[in-house]
Amino acid sequence: MPMIAWSNQFSVGVQEVDKQHQVLVGILNRLGVALDAQDSHFDNRKVIDEMVQYTVYHFGTEERLMREISYAGIDRHIGEHQSFVKKVSQLVAQVDQGQGPSLVELLLFLRDWLVSHILNSDRDMGDALNLAGIR
């Protein structure tokens, strides 16, 4: 599983958001390494829970910042967060029941969604926050 190498291209220009994105990337990379190594001592399921919990916390931060500046795109952005959380809980439930995606497929979905969300919606949000003086 190729790791996500953090670089400035992922920066949305707001320190608090960038820091949290780095934590998320770190959790994803940790999971990727463990899945590749098929490390039986590594509790994948626990790390996925950690990832989901941290994601929910992180979305809360973004939503608070968007509210602070009455961001025009807030409803659409929150909608993306909500459908992601819903989709992930469905996938995790399927994994738990031994149906649906493998952990690797789940991880790939998390990774691809996160990268594209950061590069598109979060970057737009970051531009608006920067214009309002938040960095």
Cβ distance to Fe ion smaller for residue 18 or 122: 122
> Whole-number minimum distance, CB 90 to Fe ion, in Å?
19
Cβ distance to Fe ion smaller for residue 1 or 74: 74
Q: Which stretch binds Fe ion (CB under 5 A): 1-9, 33-41, 49-57, 61-69?
A: 61-69
Burial letters for 42-79: b for 16+ Cβ neighbours within 10 Å, e otherwise? eebeebbeebbeebeebbeebbebbeeeebeebeebbe
Q: Does 122 bind Fe ion (CB under 5 A)?
A: yes
Cβ distance to Fe ion smaller for residue 45 or 76: 76
Cβ distance to Fe ion smaller for residue 107 or 125: 125
How many C-beta neighbours within 10 Å does residue 111 have?
A: 20
- The CA-atom distances, in angstroms, between 108 and each of 1, 31, 71, 88, 130 are 8, 11, 30, 12, 31
Q: Which of 62, 65, 66, 88 binds Fe ion (CB under 5 A)?
A: 62
Residues of this chain that interact with Fe ion (CB under 5 A) are 62, 122
